[in-house]
Structure 1
Amino acid sequence: MALRLSPHMTVMANAAQKAARRLLRDFNEVEQLQVSIKGPSDFVSQADLRAEATLREELARARPGYAMLMEEGGAEGSDNWSWRWIVDPLDGTTNFLHGIPHWAISIGLERRLPDGGSEIAAGLVYAPAADEMFWAERGAGAFVNDKRLRVSARRELKDAVLATGIPFAAVAPPRRLAFARTLGQLMPLVAGIRRFGAASLDLAWVAAGRYDGFWELGLKPWDISAGLLIVREAGGYATDPAGGDPRASGDVVAGNPHIHPKLCEMVSDGQDAAARAG
């Protein structure tokens, strides 16, 4: 990237690029990977584990005092951390294992605040197969490679293309019902709905204006931490359906300033319908 990166972002970009080189080799030989099943429709491969080990090593060497929260390895480091890496070494594992070139490395950097809360200070989502690195730092804007990002300007749902994540086998019935209600309401109203299978990239694509909005329920911190900041720094909104911070619940609605409130209303209605049915 031609832009001059901050020290934190340089660390993140270097770590992601090093892990990506091995992931691309594994992707070209995907039929030879050993795969384990964590749960229904939830897989982990040698590629995930090797990429996470590379990221852990690179990030720890550059910032040895920082804690980590990693998808496969869990929490590491002091509970009283001031800075913490939040890492998904391979978002879109199912795509990866099926030879679909839509997957990413996601790295978020979380900072502890004086009041005991925290904020995402920097985020990076790297799609090695496309060689697209989406990145942002708080207050400094969002970029893909060296190009500034801006969310779309579409105002009406009838013109909007949305992204979502379709619940799979392990998802509890209330969340499946909430999704079905929201999807049923939105389908007749929008230009299209896409499901590409990597939440970090869905958020990055909202930031890039490729999608006008995105929603998904029950995501994990490593799925969304980087992407939330990238959307916000590109001029969009990324909240839970009620307008709060989605990091606690994992329920995310993202979009440009015109589409976001309309999408929040639809997703909230779906959740309410599921609650009444339960």
Structure 2
Amino acid sequence: MTVSKAKAAAFSAALQAGKYIKERRGKIKKIDYKGAFNIVTDVDKASEKMILEILKADFPDDSYVAEEGGGHEASKTNRRWYVDPLDGTTNFTHSYPFFCVSIGMEEAGQMMLGVVYNPIADELFYAERGKGAFLNDEPISVSGIGELNHSLLATGFPPDTGIGQPHNNMVPFTTLTNLSHGVRRDGSAALDLCFVACGRLEGFWELKLAPWDIAAGSLIVEEAGGRVSDLADGPLDMPTGHILATNKLIHAEVVAEMKKLDLK
């Protein structure tokens, strides 16, 4: 199996699901909750079904990890797909135009392919390991800004933690807001990672993300010349979900600030 075949399937799945999501904006039939604040809609579920049907048509023996529970573990191959059918569901329900489809493919424990599609802007970000990162078929790279105080950052907040609870991210948010040009909170980790990759942001961090939130985007950042790690500059651990992605130039400076906060 070549990565190119996987890329073609992922493109098809992301573009078709993105078209469906765009058509359904403002026409949601049902909203449910996973926890107190974490929204899931009928559109999330239909998008996931569409994506998995397309991918499984070409790769029926692979493993799939999908946000809305449509995945399954398999043992016939060493490939695993990570699918977020609608990253930014809360934005979508409010017609706030910052959401996407995210599809990542891992082989033998290493991310090999990342595809993220923003249907509102019609922006398709993608990367294959060792082949660079692209936006609508044009090469992209991280920014050249080398100082934290000249940087624009982004973050997010776990839906299941409030003020005073572990990992609520408020202290890092306040700290880095005061040390940078600002911190944006737009509600889609996958798109935030892509914005680091194409130089619109210098850095992004978040706590307790799920693997499907970061699988595709983390590879896109790396292939665009950036750096991805946990908050202490160790290897990214997707099950933990603590991530720091930067243009590489400000990485050590951000890590130093995170270490002062003693985040676990």
Query: Scaled by the length of structure 1, what TM-score is found?
Result: 0.89
C-alpha distance in 2 between matches for 1:169 and 1:11? 33
The one of 147, 153, 163 equivalent to 1:156 is 147
1:246 equivalenced with 2:232 (yes/no):
no
Q: How does 1:185-224 map to 2 (within 5 A)?
A: 185-224=175-214
1:129 equivalenced with 2:127 (yes/no):
no
Which residue of the partner structure matches residue 41 of structure 2?
45
Which ranges of structure 2 fall in alignment gaps of 5 or more residues?
none
1:175 equivalenced with 2:167 (yes/no):
yes
C-alpha distance in 2 between matches for 1:75 and 1:96? 23
Deviating beyond 2 angstroms after TM superposition, the runs of 4 or more aligned structure 1 residues are 166-172, 267-270
Which residue of the partner structure matches residue 68 of structure 1?
64
TM-aligned CA deviation for residue 183 of structure 1? 2.2
TM-aligned CA deviation for residue 9 of structure 1? 0.8
Which residue of the partner structure matches residue 107 of structure 1?
103
8 A Cα contact 2:62 2:75, kept in partner:
no
SS in 2 for 1:211: coil
TM-aligned CA deviation for residue 80 of structure 1? 5.8
C-alpha distance in 1 between matches for 2:99 and 2:197? 17
SS in 2 for 1:175: coil
C-alpha distance in 2 between matches for 1:266 and 1:79? 42
Amino acid at match of 2:69: G
Which residue of the partner structure matches residue 10 of structure 2?
12
8 A Cα contact 1:111 1:119, kept in partner:
yes
Amino acid at match of 1:191: H
The one of 51, 55, 76 equivalent to 2:51 is 55
The one of 256, 263, 275 equivalent to 2:254 is 263
Q: Percent sequence identity over matched residues?
A: 39
C-alpha distance in 2 between matches for 1:268 and 1:202? 22
Which residue of the partner structure matches residue 86 of structure 1?
82
Which residue of the partner structure matches residue 27 of structure 2?
29
The number of aligned residues is 260
Superposed CA deviations along residues 125-153 of structure 1, whole A, max 9, x for unmatched, are 10011100100000000001111110000
Which ranges of structure 1 fall in alignment gaps of 5 or more residues?
113-117
C-alpha distance in 2 between matches for 1:79 and 1:199? 29
C-alpha distance in 1 between matches for 2:248 and 2:37? 34
Amino acid at match of 1:236: G
CA shift in 2, pair 1:230/1:251, >3 Å: same
8 A Cα contact 1:241 1:265, kept in partner:
no
Amino acid at match of 2:30: Q
C-alpha distance in 2 between matches for 1:256 and 1:24? 30
C-alpha distance in 2 between matches for 1:220 and 1:80? 24
